[in-house]
Amino acid sequence: MKKVGVAILGLGVVGGGTYNILKEKKNDFKKNQGLDVVVEAVLEKNLDRALSLGIDKSIIASSIEEIVTNPAVDIVVEVMGGVEPAKTFVLKALYSGKSVVTSNKELFAKHWSELEAEAKKMNVGLFFEASCVGGVPIIRTLIDSMQGNKILSLKGIINGTTNYILTKMSTAGYSYEEALKEAQKLGYAEFNPTADVEGFDATYKLSILSSLAFNTKIPIESIHREGITNITKEDIAFAKELGYNIKLLGVGKNTDKGIEVRVHPALVPLDSPLASVSDSFNAVSIVGDNVGEIMLYGRGAGALPTGSAIVSDIIFAGTHQTYYYAPFENNEKGAKETKFVRDFNTQYFIKLSVKDITGVLSKISGIFAKNDVSIEEAKQVAEKDGVVPMVIVTHSGPESAVNKAIEKIKTVDGVVSVDSILRIEK
């Protein structure tokens, strides 16, 4: 029976979940995989935390050097988060000839090329299933199950915190602030929620997923990013009346004009599977030219779902003699020949506040028409203090034309404010 020695860097939520799975499933791995997986070392500053998990004090290391010089360790699991010291520790592990499993999407999105270069040089594995969409096996699906396809698009809900917040705003009528406070209370959102609510977390994940899907490096700088902090419960109420839910989406499209990658809140039709994904769950739609659309759905975070993905990588590393490296030019900036679409072509939901005077809608419609933006639907709500909320849904058109029209609409006599501009993804 093959023995696989594992070291875990960090025993927080994910690290603790990983340790528990390895301990509880040890006999299953022996029986079903022919592997004796042994946790040989852990690196954790909080001694009480380690001991509370039942970890023997003798395997608690005090430095990364103890880990990388331990000949019994074959695989180093990094679940610390952030860039440093995680990057330094991972590079030391790779340089020491040990394979690495990581759940660190920020580290991987920003430094994938550097980490992979070291892994290649040392002929060791670099595994990252847990970096995207928690326990959902999306990385291995893209690498091992889609070879017979050109992937045309990848679209989904890839951040559980924002999905929980938007769900509460939709189902319970919470304001953004109220929903965020509850998410923080339940542990879904950090004390500083910026990485989630401003779309950074989803951007890191989309960079990794779209690189694999479109077979070219997608730097995070090439991804358009918007967060959800400006979404109001009024936006959600209007969207529902029109037959939509609002979700933070990661969208990647492989088009004839180039690759389109963006993270932003969007209106999703209520009859779409993505519209019904609630709370902290994630879902991703992948469209291949031969397979058509497939949907992956599951918990996008948490101790056991993410730990499940980490353990799958440990087992994969232990049962395979060769390792996966990116088949594309994996450098920091990506391939020079990769073209990106910057002027997105979608439908738009636009909410304005206008004075209750004759001719305002006619003027707005005229400006849209002059900029080749056609209106699919316009809706006005009851006047309040002389101001009328107005919602306009456009047909698909280039974003540059919509933005140009909006700048002119802001100057129209009778337009008080442009309150929301959101894309629609059907």
**Strand-pair category, 415-424 with 345-355:** antiparallel
Give the chain's count of helices (H) and strands (E): 15, 17
For 11, the 3-state DSSP assignment is coil
| 395 closest CA partner among 418, 417, 413, 369 | 369
d(CA 179, CA 416): 28
Contact 13, 303 (CB under 8 A): yes
Q: What is the DSSP string of 261-294?
A: EEEEEEEEETTSGGGG--TTEEEEEEEETTTEEE
Helices (H), 123-223: 138-144, 160-171, 176-185, 194-197, 200-214
| 142 closest CA partner among 207, 217, 211, 222 | 211
Contact 138, 114 (CB under 8 A): no
Contact 334, 217 (CB under 8 A): yes
d(CA 216, CA 219): 10
Which parts of 289-374 are beta strand (E)? 292-299, 345-355
Active site residues per annotation: 205
Tell me the sheet residues that pair with 101.
77, 127
Contact 288, 141 (CB under 8 A): no
Token duo for residue 387: 């101001």
| 250 closest CA partner among 221, 208, 190 | 208
